[in-house]
Homo-oligomer: A and B are copies of this chain.
Amino acid sequence: MIPVLKYPPKETWLDLCQRPSYDNTSIESTVNGIMQAVKVDGDAALINYTKVLDKCELVNGLQVTVAEIEGASLSISSELKRAIDQAYANIFQFHQSQIETIKIITTMNGVSCWRESRPIEKVGLYIPGGSAPLFSTVLMLGIPANIAGCAEVIMCSPPQPNGSIHPATLYAAWKVGISKIYKVGGAQAIAAMAFGTATIPKAYKLFGPGNQYVTEAKMQAQSMGLAIDMLAGPSEVLIIADASSNAAYIAADLLAQLEHGTDSQAILLTDALDKAQEVQAALQIQLQVLPRKKIIEQSVKGSKLVVLPSIDDCVAFSNEYAPEHLILALGNANDYKTQIVNAGSVFVGELSCESLGDYASGTNHTLPTNGYSKAYSGVSVDSFIKKITFQEITNKGMLAIGPIVETMASAEGLQAHKNAVSIRLNALK
């Protein structure tokens, strides 16, 4: 039973917003060892780690074959295929809208500046394995990579002991046009995409969630100069509700978050003490029938039901917490949208539950956790492109802007910078 925390004073909010901290130093050297082994021994190291850690002998090699990819479509139900196809269409449509058109800005007469987007040429996607196939993450990373136009999109995912990757994962990869799929997981997969091996090409940017080994490997890759999407922590939801909200919906949303893992975070903020108590009771009832009850009984210990004086206070608390997912389970949810400054993805109104965004509404589910939404956005097409600035200056433009640059370069003591302008101005005069 989660206790209800009544009206905690403002000076305690910062403490209440703290996530549990994890000390990664114990795995730092393990991961570094894996990274170095893959750097030196390449494919042989990958095959060895897969044997030891995934209990899988890769007798047919690291790469998923065309036959495996094409066969996947036959191994999953047509109901699941139709669902994936509709999710694909929604996610594609929303991400397609993120493509920017070129705007040429004339800052002075004869001085034009603009930005053009270019895909990151080589990207690597990591899809965790484990108890269930995460085909939704294949869609969430593969679709924007495809829309961005990345020339080489590769994917790594740990094989099951029988050497296969779940057909739903392969079907999703086929949908998004990924043909280079490798049966390797964990820190060794990150190392393979960071350094490249005989089989697996090197990527310029790495994406995807994973356990603490994967996260530590991504951090080490980043410090070597590779780009990464973000550092993933345990998943989180924060729900803001009032006296009119449906307690059963809220309990269901909290439990959906808590089933992810024993370290998942779920917080309810409300201005109605009754509602908090109602949710507390609904949680107990709904929990009983859930298959992942054992996980939730652990993760629920870190959860909080907090009563605050007003919805404005709830929003202020939420902005301090900076949740990955924020559900505004309020009748007048739209009134609070502009007040939200820190969040990964926002679900407006009590019908807009997080599950919809996790799978199919169209928004991306790869989002900043651990308070990172104070400074980071979730994954989008932007994550797969760079914007290059261009400028073009005419004779007239040079005559106008040249003297300004001469003055500034001179004041910064950079005479050669000034000279690059003067030599042109002299030729034009």
Chain A residues packing against B (C-beta within 8 Å): 76, 79-80, 82-84, 86-87, 89-91, 93-94, 97-98, 100, 103, 105, 107-108, 111, 113, 115-116, 118-121, 131-136, 168, 204-205, 219, 222-223, 225-227, 231, 246, 248-249, 252-253, 255-256, 258-260, 286, 290-292, 296, 333-334, 337, 340-349, 351-364, 368, 370-378, 380, 382, 385-395, 397-398, 401-405, 407-409, 411-421, 423-424, 427
Q: Are A361 and B107 in contact (CB under 8 A)?
A: yes
Sample of 15 A–B contacts (CB below 8 Å):
A82-B407, A83-B407, A120-B375, A168-B411, A204-B374, A248-B423, A255-B416, A255-B419, A259-B416, A291-B415, A347-B392, A351-B424, A360-B404, A377-B387, A382-B382
Query: Is the pair B136, A348 in contact by a Cβ cutoff of 8 Å?
Result: no
Chain B residues, CB < 8 A from A388: 340, 343-346, 373, 377
Task: Let me know if B393 and A352 touch, CB within 8 A.
Answer: yes
Given contacts A290-B416, A415-B290, A423-B252, contact A386 B375 (CB under 8 A): yes
* A234 → B minimal CB distance (Å): 14
Output the nearest chain B residue to A220 by Cβ-Cβ distance: B223
Q: Which residues of B contact A97 (CB under 8 A)?
A: 103, 105
Give which listed residue, B93, B342, B411, B412, contacts A107 with CB less than 8 A: B93
Contact call B393/A389, Cβ cutoff below 8 A: no
Report A137 CB to chain B, min CB distance, Å: 9
Q: A352-B391, A356-B398 are in contact. List 11 more A-B contacts (CB 8 A).
A: A76-B411, A86-B404, A90-B108, A90-B401, A121-B374, A132-B414, A168-B411, A252-B420, A349-B392, A357-B391, A361-B391
- Contact at A344–B90, with CB atoms within 8 Å? no
CB distance from A256 to the nearest CB of B (A): 4
CB distance from A227 to the nearest CB of B (A): 4
Are B225 and A372 in contact, with the CB atoms below 8 A? yes
Give CA–CA (A167, B86) in the complex, Å: 60
**Are the CB atoms of A219 and B223 closer together than 8 Å?**
yes
CB pair B259–A417 under 8 Å, yes or no, is yes
B79 touches A407 (CB 8 A): yes
Determine whether the beta carbon of A345 is less than 8 Å from that of B252. no
User: Do residues A375 and B255 form an inter-chain contact, with CB atoms below 8 A?
Assistant: no
Q: Which residues of B contact A345 (CB under 8 A)?
A: 388-391
Smallest distance from the beta carbon of A22 to chain B beta carbons, Å?
Answer: 12
Q: Which of A83, A219, A352, A355 has the most CB of B within 10 A?
A: A355
